[in-house]
């Protein structure tokens, strides 16, 4: 289980971005997290993905408390939890071809990049002719599929998806969400889908919670 207990994050200005959130997702469960823009969902996502340390509270991964975050987080724990950003353009290195973007985590983990690519590219809908293109040479939807594959290349147990379809039209949204849902089912992933779209969350997720229900003012 990926769990955040009493998570608090304050900015240097004194603003409380996350005022004591408690959330948990089990492997194989698609959890929708609803909330309006600016409520702190993205900050909570960064803490759950081990990128940002909470000022108070505890994150644990499969019962193991996390004491170091960001680049200092243990590699084994970082591989278990991956974050899918809202903007694929911001998340992708423009100097990398799509195949390099997808397989970089496998190379770092000393896995066979070719085998990882052969497995993931068809699963996320990346055709062979796209793999040698650069990010600016593919559509945003295709690039987001590459980012999904990159996140899966670590063989994570949990995927935190922060508004992953907000930038796309309805048909592209449906395709991306179907890919995420199918992957979560096939791989037994715990998926946290962060969104402000109630209908979307209710349709695609097993459980839905409101951000406001997770927090206690501190």
- What's the mean per-residue pLDDT of the chain? 91
Q: What is the pLDDT of residue 183?
A: 84
128: number of Cβ within 10 Å: 10
pLDDT tens digit string along 25-69? 999 999 999 988 888 999 999 999 999 999 999 999 999 999 999
Please give the residue range of the domain that contains residue 69.
Answer: 2-216
Number of domains in the chain: 1
Distances (CA, A) of 80 to 25, 30, 156, 164, 191: 13, 16, 4, 19, 12
Which residue, 100, 59, 84, is CA-closest to 194? Answer: 84
Q: What is the CA radius of gyration of the chain?
A: 17
pLDDT tens digit string along 68-85? 999 999 999 999 999 998
The arithmetic mean of pLDDT across residues 104-116, rounded, is 89
Q: What is the pLDDT of residue 38?
A: 81
Question: Model-level pTM?
Answer: 0.91
**217 pLDDT band (50/70/90 cuts)?**
low
Q: What CATH number is associated with residue 58?
A: 3.40.50.300
- Secondary structure of the chain: what % helix, strand, coil (to 5)? 40, 25, 35
Give the residue, 137 or 165, on which the prediction is more confident: 137
The share of the chain scoring above pLDDT 90, in percent, equals: 67
């Amino acid at each position: 289980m990926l769990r955040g207990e009493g998570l608090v994050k304050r900015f240097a200005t004194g603003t409380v971005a996350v005022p004591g959130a408690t959330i948990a997702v089990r492997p194989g469960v698609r959890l929708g997290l609803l909330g309006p823009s600016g409520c702190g969902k993205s900050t909570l996502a960064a803490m759950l993905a081990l990128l940002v340390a909470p000022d108070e509270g505890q994150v644990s991964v499969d019962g193991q408390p996390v004491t170091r975050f960001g680049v200092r987080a243990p590699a084994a724990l970082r591989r278990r939890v991956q974050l899918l950003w809202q903007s694929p353009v911001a998340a992708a290195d423009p100097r990398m071809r799509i195949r390099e973007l997808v397989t970089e985590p496998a190379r770092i983990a000393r896995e066979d990049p070719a085998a990882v690519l052969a497995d993931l590219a068809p699963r996320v809908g990346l055709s062979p002719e796209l793999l040698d293109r650069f990010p600016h040479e593919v559509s945003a939807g295709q690039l987001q599929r590459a980012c999904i594959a990159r996140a899966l290349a670590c063989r994570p147990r949990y995927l935190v998806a922060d508004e992953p379809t907000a930038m796309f039209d309805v048909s592209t949204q449906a395709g991306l969400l179907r890919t995420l849902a199918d992957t979560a089912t096939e791989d037994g992933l715990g998926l946290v889908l962060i969104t402000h779209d109630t209908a979307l969350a209710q349709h695609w997720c097993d459980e839905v919670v409101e951000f406001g229900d997770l927090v206690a003012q501190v």
